Structure 1
Amino acid sequence: MLKAKALMIAGLSGLLVACSANDVSDKSAPDSAAAHEQAIRKTNEQWLALIRDHDAAAVSMLYTADGAMMAPGAPIAQGQPALETAWGGLMQMPGFALTFEADQIVVASGGDMALDRGVYQLSLDGPDGAMKDIGKYVVVWRNVDGQWKVAADIFNSDGAPTN
């Protein structure tokens, strides 16, 4: 009887230790997710600076090697050469200015993928004057060797561009 109690106590002690270990890792997960989210926000700031500088080559390097941009009314631009061409075409448009802001960034529990959802504002000089387009976007991020890269980038307008 004493032996059975000792085994039961040892088993319960082991269970408590195992539960405590899981509790510690669960508490560290939000910190890790927060660090990943902050890294993505920092990369978004870099992306915006490169857009302001009209540096299509550097913007294309923010994407994975097989990354894709899916703009409305255009074929998919996939891979860094196609992305550089697509971004270069946008940036060469008269009056080009683009800003965006993440509303939500969700990092996968494994820390290897993330979703970034937000809004953008695009300005161009059209034949009838300045045009403004407001819309939303989704970016899928992939953690490549500790660096967040854009795997997929899709956006669309809330309505017809306005003058």
Structure 2
Amino acid sequence: MSLQEISAVNRQFEQAVCDGDMDLLASLYTSDAIVLPPDGPVVRGRGAIKQMWTAVVQQLGLTDVRLRTLDYEQSSRTGSEVGEATLTLGGGTAVVKYVVVWKRTKGQWRLHRDIWNAKAG
């Protein structure tokens, strides 16, 4: 895994949000991915992840996201990324911090574990 490969998937993630393409967004996760949204239940699998992101887009008015990798490490078929995301919402913007565990599956890097929360200050 290289920063270039992660960045390419992150750009697809950003574009999927911008286009409202929740099918594409869900496809960027592994089939057995787990997402841990702030103050919400654990979300398992692509179908549930698609539903979660659809709700986030609708409820928060999410129209754009910009991901910025701050740090990453790798080992064979997995990697970890720490980053910040700037979200454009119906009521303005918000910055969150996130950690993603990446997994190489079928020759592609996909989000395997995803957690984020608000960035204070």
Provide TM-score, normalisation by structure 2: 0.89
RMSD: 1.7
Gapped regions of structure 2 (runs ≥ 5): none
| Residue number in structure 2 paired with 1:54 | 20
Query: Is 1:150 matched with 2:115?
Result: no
How far apart in 2 are the matches of 1:37 and 1:158?
23
Question: In percent, how many aligned pairs have the same letter?
Answer: 27
Structure 1 residue 106 displacement after superposition: 1.4
Query: Is 1:87 matched with 2:53?
Result: yes
Residue deviations 1:98-137 (CA, integer Å, cap 9, x gap): 22211122121x2x00111110122322xxxx24321210
Look at both structures and tell me which one has the larger radius of gyration over its CA atoms: 1
How far apart in 2 are the matches of 1:132 and 1:48?
15
Structure 1 residue 140 displacement after superposition: 0.4
Gapped regions of structure 1 (runs ≥ 5): 1-32
How far apart in 2 are the matches of 1:132 and 1:64?
28
Structure 1 residue 93 displacement after superposition: 3.1
Tell me the matched-pair count.
120
More strand, by proportion: 2
Provide TM-score, normalisation by structure 1: 0.68
Asked whether the 8 Å contact 1:93–1:124 carries over to 2, the reply is no
The structure, 1 or 2, with the larger RCO (C-alpha pairs under 8 Å, 6+ apart) is 2
More helix, by proportion: 1
